[in-house]
């Protein structure tokens, strides 16, 4: 099954739009009215909906990933990215999207920098 994405509020909307233009099922925190919600709330929503979360917030989401694994909770994946131009993030993300399934991303933390 193809990856579905939940995009954190720190990531530009133009990145989300670029994904949508390429057929990626992507939703943003802003579209859902989730701006200002805690990282834990956003991560829980993504997990419940079977969406990986795409974020620039490396520190907090690494902690959440570890907490989920330590407590036996499951999530749909995390993609951590530096703040880069949209074109670079898009190129790297599409490599990941074509290479991994939702099953591959289950409980996985992935750095977008590994997809150059």
pLDDT score recorded for residue 34: 83
Strand-pair category, 25-28 with 109-111: unpaired
Other C-beta atoms closer than 10 Å to the C-beta of 22 total: 12
pLDDT score recorded for residue 48: 95
Q: Is the pLDDT of residue 35 over 90?
A: no
- What domains, with CATH codes, occur in the chain? 4-115 (3.40.50)
pLDDT score recorded for residue 42: 94
Helix, strand, or coil here: 112? Answer: helix
pLDDT score recorded for residue 33: 85
In this prediction the pTM is: 0.95
Q: Is the pLDDT of residue 1 over 90?
A: no
Q: Is the pLDDT of residue 81 over 90?
A: yes
- The residues near 60 (Cβ < 8 Å, ≥ 6 apart) are 39
């Amino acid at each position: 099954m193809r990856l579905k994405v939940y995009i954190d509020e720190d990531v530009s909307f133009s990145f989300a739009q670029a994904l949508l233009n390429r057929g990626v099922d992507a939703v943003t925190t802003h579209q859902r009215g989730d701006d200002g919600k805690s990282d834990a709330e956003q991560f829980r929503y993504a997990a419940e909906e079977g969406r990986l979360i795409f974020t620039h917030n490396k520190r907090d989401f690494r902690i959440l990933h570890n907490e989920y694994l330590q407590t036996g909770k499951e999530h749909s994946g995390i993609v951590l990215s530096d703040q880069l131009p949209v074109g670079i993030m898009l190129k790297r993300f599409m490599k990941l999207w074509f290479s991994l399934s939702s099953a591959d991303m289950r409980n996985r933390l992935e750095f977008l920098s590994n997809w150059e």
